[in-house]
Structure 1
């Protein structure tokens, strides 16, 4: 199907299409329990562990991000002020993730036995990452000498920040796998699928405000960068479980998100007179609350067994 015919589809179909696909994937995972019996996972060979964790990570990370990115044709045809709303929603999603990871850093630091070292490592990770990304962003703008900001560039930055966050998700998957905890692993994957599908529109929202749609390779690259690190985190969680390592990854992700929030605000300001409009503020709050419902409330429901198959 050509790109033009895709945009000619009814708006309602462009809006609900990704939801239908998500429900199909979610239903398959819920009903089929595809991970089987993991009681002997601790005795599996290195190659077997890498392969299984890679498949699980792709299902939990890349697949839902790709589904979420299918909303791009719907977002692309919206008025500029609504696109800004989607970008503000994306900022709300990122802000929630940063808050959540800060809580994780505090929790891991308490488990290390050396909290001063842990918090020092976290502060260094946040500060260095923020500074490096800020310097790179300023250099990029100076060398390109553009009068207009590129949404594709911001989308890559958002994908990098989300990808760093995804490593933390993979750590949980890897640990659950090597422990042979099938129930927890299934619940984590279900929760991450619901959670990560929102990362799709988050990374493409900035692209939607560009006049021209970039080549497909950019969408593929952005999706892999945002969701693929779940696989990397799964490998690390399977072979090298370390609280300090987890703290460092979370800190780097927090620093990246803080810089990306500034980039998103500047991109909105480039097109509009104000960033903190009523619509943008409401969209930001909605993104924050939505991620709370998907990440905390949904996970809690699953862990309580309300949705666990008999």
Structure 2
């Protein structure tokens, strides 16, 4: 029995298990209701804001990455086309969120005392973040090309790159939280959970190069490295109550998402003849439409008091 691992479980358990765990996470999230009354967030103490954003960051960042890691033993044996479809679905979700955040940039820019400065901040935030993320990605790819590196080392590099964009995710959550936008917080959480679940397999895929499975502590460390920065970003974003700061923070988040979309395309192109296939296009659109429908559902539930009730 000592030689058995999670990979020895029946395939249907490996496929369904993470989904069940994810459902349990959402159930727990609803039960503990960490959001509180966002309309009264201005009266919350600094410690309360830090705690609530930490809880949100754990559920939006660390937990889904860990769940995705559990999925790896199953998807490792799937036809690459289906893995590409999952990645395209995540890309569709992120495109929807990028559009939502762009609307937030426009709205906050209009409320700012200096619209011209808001435009400059938006351009600098988006382009600057994109270029920094692109440089980090290029460095990672050059480093990964070193055949002397182990799969575990490469997996840590991937987790580091994903952690950088996770800060952008947290920024969006923090700004929406401090502005008391409950619907936006929930939408961002749903989107990032769907996306970050796919980060788990992306991180540990390189480990398959190694003959020996690394100790569990390495998987925990990589999960924290990739998903933990959502918490840090949330804390920083909580200072974005001022319209100009909100513009900058949302712009940084959009820039990070744009770079991640390129990363997703590169991951698909790595072992596929074409990025744009019928299956990938269908799942991409499906991810976008899913978030569009979720926006209406979440908004309706918030208005009716089903969610975020004190």
Q: Please give the range of the TM-score, normalised by the shorter of the 2 chains.
A: 0.7 to 0.9
Q: Quick one: structure 1 residues 67 and 189, their matched pair in 2 at CA, closer, same or farther if it must change by over 3 Å?
A: farther
**Superposed counterparts of 1:1-310, under 5 Å:** 5-33=5-33, 46-47=46-47, 49-142=49-142, 145-146=145-146, 153-154=157-158, 156-176=160-180, 193-207=189-203, 210=206, 211-212=208-209, 215=214, 216=216, 219-225=219-225, 227-236=227-236, 241-294=241-294, 296-305=295-304, 307-308=306-307
Instruction: Measure, in 2, the Cα distance between the counterparts of 1:189 and 1:61.
Output: 13
| Unaligned ranges ≥5, structure 2 | none
Instruction: Measure, in 1, the Cα distance between the counterparts of 2:38 and 2:253.
Output: 30
Partner of 1:181: none
Secondary structure at the counterpart of residue 90 of structure 1: helix
- Is the 1:166–1:227 contact (alpha carbons within 8 Å) kept by the matching residues of 2? no
- Is the 1:168–1:249 contact (alpha carbons within 8 Å) kept by the matching residues of 2? yes
- Is the 2:105–2:247 contact (alpha carbons within 8 Å) kept by the matching residues of 1? yes
Secondary structure at the counterpart of residue 274 of structure 2: coil
Instruction: Measure, in 1, the Cα distance between the counterparts of 2:169 and 2:66.
Output: 17
- Is the 2:34–2:52 contact (alpha carbons within 8 Å) kept by the matching residues of 1? no
- Is the 1:92–1:283 contact (alpha carbons within 8 Å) kept by the matching residues of 2? yes
Q: After superposing the two structures, state which structure 1 stretch, 108-117 or 73-82, moved more.
A: 73-82
Q: Quick one: structure 1 residues 234 and 145, their matched pair in 2 at CA, closer, same or farther if it must change by over 3 Å?
A: closer
**How much does 1:290 deviate?**
2.3
Secondary structure at the counterpart of residue 27 of structure 2: helix
Q: After superposing the two structures, state which structure 1 stretch, 35-44 or 138-147, moved more.
A: 35-44
**How much does 1:231 deviate?**
3.0
Instruction: Measure, in 2, the Cα distance between the counterparts of 1:67 and 1:240.
Output: 30
- Is the 2:240–2:246 contact (alpha carbons within 8 Å) kept by the matching residues of 1? no
- Is the 1:105–1:122 contact (alpha carbons within 8 Å) kept by the matching residues of 2? yes
- Is the 1:163–1:226 contact (alpha carbons within 8 Å) kept by the matching residues of 2? no
What's the CA shift string for 1:44-73, capped at 9, x where partnerless?
664455345434543454334434543333
- Is the 1:61–1:230 contact (alpha carbons within 8 Å) kept by the matching residues of 2? yes
Secondary structure at the counterpart of residue 297 of structure 1: helix
Q: Quick one: structure 1 residues 30 and 257, their matched pair in 2 at CA, closer, same or farther if it must change by over 3 Å?
A: closer
Secondary structure at the counterpart of residue 272 of structure 1: coil
- Is the 1:69–1:200 contact (alpha carbons within 8 Å) kept by the matching residues of 2? no
- Is the 1:89–1:202 contact (alpha carbons within 8 Å) kept by the matching residues of 2? no
Q: After superposing the two structures, state which structure 1 stretch, 266-275 or 10-19, moved more.
A: 10-19
What's the CA shift string for 1:25-57, capped at 9, x where partnerless?
333443454667899976666445534543454
What is the TM-score with the length of structure 1 in the denominator?
Answer: 0.77
What's the CA shift string for 1:73-119, capped at 9, x where partnerless?
33222112222222222222222222222111111111113222111
Secondary structure at the counterpart of residue 254 of structure 1: helix
